Amino acid sequence: MKNQIKTLSIVLLIIVGIGGCNPPVPNNSHIEIDQTANYTEKELILQDFMDVVYIPLETNAEFVTSGIVMDIGSKYIIVKNWTKEGNIFIFDRNTGKALKKLNMLGKGPEEYSHLTNLVLDEQNNELFVNCLTSKKILVYDLSGNFKRSFNHIENVRYMDVYNYDSDNLIVYNEMAQYNIGQNKGDEPYHMILSKQNGSVTRHISIPFDVIKAPIIQEGDAVVASSVPTIIPNHGNWLLVEPSSDTVYNYLSRENKLEPILVKKPTKDPEIFIKVGTLTASYFFISTLKKVFDFSTGRGFPTSDLMYDKQENTVYEPAIINADYLKKQTVDMTSHPVNGDEIAAFQNLQAFKLVEAYKKNELTGKLKEIAAKLDEESNPVIMLMKEK
C-alpha cells in the first residue's frame, strides 16, 4: 500500500564489479570472481529465459497489506507488513485470493512479540514463527492454533530459518557478527534443527579463520547490513558465511559441502557476497562494500553481477521485463526461491502499476491486472519460473 511503504534503515549485504572489459573466468568446478575487475553490461529480456506469472493479492477491509512475502508454497503465499502489528496474511498461491489473517502478537507463552521469520510447512499444515526478541520459535497450524514452541539454543540467535525437510528446519546463528576480528574456533554457525523440539540434528561447519561482518562503528554510532546465509537450491542449499570468501552448495543427502563460487579476498574495504537466483544458464549475485559515511548517512554501495554459464563470463546484468513498454529492470538477487516451481519473485507495488497504466507503459497480462487496481490495492506478486 502506498501509505504503508517505508524505507528500510538496514541495508542488505553483498561483492563488486562495474562496467568495462571482462576478464576470463577460470574453467574450474567453481566460479571465481575478481571483484576489483570491471565488467561490461549485458541486457537480457526476462521472458526469454523465464515464464512470468502475476498474482494480484486480493484487497478487502480485512486484508490490507504492504505484501512483504515471507514464504511461498505450492498452495499458499505468506506475507506480513512493514509495521509491527503482528498480522500474518495467507493468500492463495494461484489466484491471490485472501484466505486467512492471523495475529498471535503478545507476551504470553503461546504468542510472539516479533515476526523475524515465517516458515511455511504445507506438508504438515504448520507455520513456524521465529521471534528474535524472545529467542523462540513458535509453531501454529494454518488456522492460527498454537501447537508447540522451543527456545533458541543457549548463546545462539537464529537469523535465517528455512524449511529443510518434513522433520527439520535449517538455520543460521548470527552471534558470530558480535565477535568481529576474533578467530572462529570450533563453533559451527549453520545447523539443522528438529521441528518438534528444536534440538540440533546436524551441524554444518564452513571453514574460515577470522570473523568478519558488515558492521561499522564510529564512536557510539553503529551501522550494519545483513546477508542471506541460506538460499534454497533445487533440493540442496547455497550456504553463505560472511567470514568466508567461498560460497558452498550443501548437498543434503550426502551431507557434503561443494564450493560453487570463490571471490578474490578483500581487506580495505571488505566486500561481501549476496547470492541470488540460480538458473541453468545464469547465476545472479550482488556485492556490498563495507563503507559508510556517518556524516551523510549513506554507505554500503552495492553492485549486481551475473555469471553466464554458457560463456563462462561475468557481466553486469540488466534484466528487462518485457511487460513494461518503458524499460524496467528486474531484481534477480533479493528474492531467490530456486525451486522447481519458482525461481524467484518480486513485489510490484500497486500505486506504481497504476501510474504506469495511466501513462500507457504496460502491456499484456500486467496491463490487464493494473487496469483493475487503485493506488491503495495490495501488491502484485510476480513469480518467475525457469523455462
Q: What is the dihedral of CA 354, 356, 362, 368, to 10 degrees?
A: 10
Here the cell at position 129 is 514463527
pLDDT digits (tens, 9 = 90+) for 359-386: 999 999 999 999 999 999 999 999 999 9
Helix (H) or strand (E) holding 49: helix 46-49
Please report, for the chain, the start and end positions of each structural domain, with discontinuous segments joined by +.
2-42+65-320
Average pLDDT, the chain: 90
What residue has cell string 562495474? Answer: 18
Q: Is the peptide bond before 24 cis (omega within 30 degrees of 0)?
A: no
pLDDT digits (tens, 9 = 90+) for 321-353: 999 999 999 999 999 999 999 999 999 999 999
> Rounded to two decimals, what is the model's pTM?
0.90
What fold characterizes domain 2-42+65-320?
Lipocalin (2.40.128)
| DSSP designation for 48 | H
Helix (H) or strand (E) holding 98: strand 98-102
Here the cell at position 108 is 504470553
pLDDT digits (tens, 9 = 90+) for 294-303: 999 999 999 9
Please state, for a pLDDT cut of 70, what percent of the chain lies above it.
93
**376 touches 38 (CB < 8 A):** no
* pLDDT confidence of residue 22: 53
Instruction: Tell me, rounded to whole angstroms, the distance of Cα 261 from its chain centroid.
Output: 18
Choose among 125, 130, 117, 102: nearest CA to 198: 130
